[in-house]
């Protein structure tokens, strides 16, 4: 199989692996959202139990306070009735009246204390209700995030399946191109034999200079992309020396060419090649 054939196979496998990896990452993220949601739901249940217990206790205290206030009001009413009765009967015992008035003032003080306690209990109940609403809002947000992650994971799996199908189509196309290349090579060999053509003079490489735009690793091989293409008359098989300033890094050989860029492999290694390095026609 030709070098270009190997390059397309490696590229297809890398693309398929990338999409499958993306799908796996999104599925893991969905599981993470699910775990966070379960933890938040458990926390909310605990808080709800505590809130319900607190509300029940405060409701009981409030009911007890109301009952006590009603009893005090009843006693107040009885004392007032007794005072009126005593006054009506013309009693003039000032000490008894003073005692009754003292009891009335004591009852009124207790009533004021109970009213303040009821106000405090109502404020605390309001705070608990607001806290519960906040926890419920956080739970709803976690549910929305989980649903979004599940949807994204499904889309990624579908895209990975589509990429797998495209990779199969590319393999078939690569096999056809390889067969065509082999036929062309056979025809070239026949022409060389019949007409004694010197193939070294075909497509002689002109002097040119460019820049490395990216470097990647796949299948144990290094692939270099340069900013020279068909618009610059680049052809597969052209070779370039790679420099960074005065440092010589090695030589690359072009595999594929598009309009403005070319992909090449490292034909001779001297130092790691990186984006931004300069490429020039081999001297």
pLDDT above 90 (res 253): yes
**What is the distance between the alpha carbons of residues 184 and 187, in angstroms, rounded to a whole number?**
5
Asked whether residue 65 falls in the same domain as residue 149, the answer is yes
Residue 189 pLDDT class (50, 70, 90 cuts): low
129-144 per-residue burial string, b: 16 or more CB within 10 A, e: under 16: eeebeebeeeeeebee
Asked whether residue 33 falls in the same domain as residue 124, the answer is yes
Does residue 71 form part of some domain?
yes
Does residue 225 form part of some domain?
yes
Give the range of the structural domain holding residue 248, as residue numbers without chain letter.
209-281
What domain count does the chain have? 2
Q: Which range (25-34, 86-95, 273-282) has the least confidence?
A: 86-95
Does residue 187 form part of some domain?
no
Asked whether residue 141 falls in the same domain as residue 235, the answer is no
Per-residue pLDDT, 204: 67
Residue-wise pLDDT tens digits, 137-168: 777 777 777 777 667 766 766 766 676 777 67
Asked whether residue 238 falls in the same domain as residue 143, the answer is no
Per-residue pLDDT, 157: 64
Asked whether residue 214 falls in the same domain as residue 154, the answer is no
Residue-wise pLDDT tens digits, 100-112: 888 878 888 887 8
Asked whether residue 239 falls in the same domain as residue 128, the answer is no
pTM: predicted TM-score of the whole model, two decimal places: 0.32
Number of H helices, E strands in the chain: 2, 6
Residue-wise pLDDT tens digits, 122-142: 777 777 778 767 767 777 777
Both tokens of residue 239? 């070779």
Does residue 204 form part of some domain?
no
Mean pLDDT of the chain: 79
Q: Torsion over CA of 186, 187, 192 and 198, rounded to 10 degrees? A: -90
């Amino acid at each position: 199989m030709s070098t270009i054939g190997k390059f397309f196979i490696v590229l297809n496998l890398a693309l398929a692996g990338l999409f499958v990896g993306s799908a796996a990452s999104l599925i893991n993220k969905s599981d993470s959202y699910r775990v966070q949601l379960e933890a938040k739901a458990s926390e909310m249940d605990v808080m709800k139990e505590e809130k319900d217990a607190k509300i029940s206790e405060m409701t009981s205290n409030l009911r007890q306070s109301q009952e006590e206030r009603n009893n005090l009001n009843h006693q107040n009413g009885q004392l007032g009735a007794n005072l009126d009765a005593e006054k009506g009967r013309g009693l003039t015992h000032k000490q008894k009246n003073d005692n009754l008035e003292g009891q009335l003032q004591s009852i009124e003080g207790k009533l004021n204390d109970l009213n303040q306690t009821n106000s405090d209990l109502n404020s605390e109940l309001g705070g608990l209700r607001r806290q519960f609403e906040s926890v419920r809002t956080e739970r709803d947000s976690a549910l929305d995030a989980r649903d979004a992650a599940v949807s994204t994971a499904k889309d990624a799996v579908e895209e990975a399946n589509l990429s797998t199908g495209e990779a199969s189509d590319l393999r078939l196309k690569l096999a056809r191109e390889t067969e065509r290349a082999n036929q062309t090579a056979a025809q070239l060999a026949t022409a060389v034999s019949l007409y004694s053509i010197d193939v070294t003079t075909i497509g002689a490489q002109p002097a040119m200079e460019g820049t490395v735009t990216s470097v990647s690793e796949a299948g144990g091989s290094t692939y270099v992309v340069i900013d020279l293409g068909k618009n610059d008359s680049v052809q597969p098989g052209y070779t370039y020396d790679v420099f960074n300033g005065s440092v010589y890094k090695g030589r690359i050989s072009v595999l594929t060419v598009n309009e403005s860029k070319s992909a090449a492999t490292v034909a001779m290694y001297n130092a790691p090649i990186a984006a931004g390095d300069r490429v020039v026609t081999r001297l």
